[in-house]
Chains A and B, each alone.
Chain A
Amino acid sequence: MNFRENIARLQDFYLLSIKAPAGIFRRPFYFREMIEQMDYMGTGSLFIIVLVSLFIGMALSLQISAELSTLGLKMYTGKLVGVSIIREIGPVSIALSFAGRVGSGMASEIGSMVLGHQVDILRVHGVNPLKKLVTPRVVSAILMLPILTVIGDAVSLFGGYYIAVFVSHQSGSFYWSQIRDIMDFKNIFSGIAKPFIFGYFISCISCYMGLATRGGARGLRKATTTAVVFSTIVIIVADFMMTRALLLLLGESV
Chain B
Amino acid sequence: MIEFQNVTLSYGNNGVLTRVSFKAQFHERIAILGGSGEGKTTILRLMLGLVRPDEGKILIGGRDITELSESELKDIRMKFSIVFQEGALFDSMNVKENVAFCFREYANYSEDQIEERVRELLRTLGIENAVYLMPEELSGGMQRRVAIARSLAGCKPNMMLYDEPTSGLDPLTAENICKLIKELSKGGPPDRMGFIIVTHKVTDAAKVAERFLYIRNGSIIFDGNITELKKTNDAELRNFINELYVAEQCS
Contact = CB atoms under 8 A, between A and B. Distances in A.
B198 to A, nearest CB: 13
A15 to B, nearest CB: 11
A121 to B, nearest CB: 5
B81 interface: yes
A239 B85 CA distance: 45
Given A126-B77, A128-B70, A117 B88 contact: yes
Nearest to A121: B88
13 contacts: A116-B88, A116-B91, A117-B84, A117-B88, A118-B88, A120-B88, A121-B150, A123-B48, A123-B77, A124-B77, A125-B101, A125-B106, A126-B77
B82 interface: yes
Contacts of B101: 125
B91 A124 contact: no
A217 interface: no
Contacts of B170: none
B50 A123 contact: yes
B50 A124 contact: yes
Contact of B45 (A116, A120, A126, A128): A120
B71 to A, nearest CB: 8
Interface string B64-88: 0000001000100110111011101
Contact of A116 (B77, B86, B150): B86
Contact of A124 (B80, B89, B90): B80
Max count, chain B CB within 10 A of own CB: residue among A116, A118, A121: A121
B81 A127 contact: no
Interface in B135-169: 150, 155
A124 B70 contact: no
A112 B50 CA distance: 17
Given A126-B77, A126-B78, A128-B70, A120 B50 contact: yes
Contacts of B50: 120, 123-124
Interface of A: 28, 112-113, 116-118, 120-121, 123-128
Contact of A120 (B84, B86, B90, B91): B84
Interface of B: 45, 48, 50, 70, 74, 77-78, 80-82, 84-86, 88-91, 101-102, 105-106, 150, 155
Contacts of A121: 82, 84, 88, 90, 150
Contacts of B91: 112, 116, 118
B84 to A, nearest CB: 4
A112 B88 CA distance: 11
A123 B74 CA distance: 8
Contacts of B155: 125
B74 to A, nearest CB: 4
B163 to A, nearest CB: 8
A118 to B, nearest CB: 6
The 6 A-B residue pairs with the shortest CB-CB distance, nearest first, are A117-B88, A117-B84, A126-B74, A124-B77, A121-B88, A120-B50
Q: Name the residue among A112, A116, A117 with the largest chain B CB count within 10 angstroms.
A: A117
Nearest to A129: B70
Contacts of A123: 48, 50, 70, 77
B102 A124 contact: no
Contacts of B88: 116-118, 120-121
Nearest to A132: B105
A61 to B, nearest CB: 42
Given A123-B70, A124-B48, A125-B101, 4 more contacts: A118-B88, A120-B84, A121-B88, A124-B82
Contacts of A125: 77, 101-102, 105-106, 155
A125 B78 CA distance: 7
Contacts of A113: 90
B81 A124 contact: yes
A128 B74 CA distance: 10
A127 B106 CA distance: 10
Contacts of B89: 118
A125 B152 CA distance: 11
Contact of B90 (A28, A118, A128): A118
A214 to B, nearest CB: 9
Nearest to B161: A124
Contacts of A126: 74, 77-78, 105-106
Nearest to B73: A123
A124 B157 CA distance: 11
B149 to A, nearest CB: 13
Nearest to A214: B11
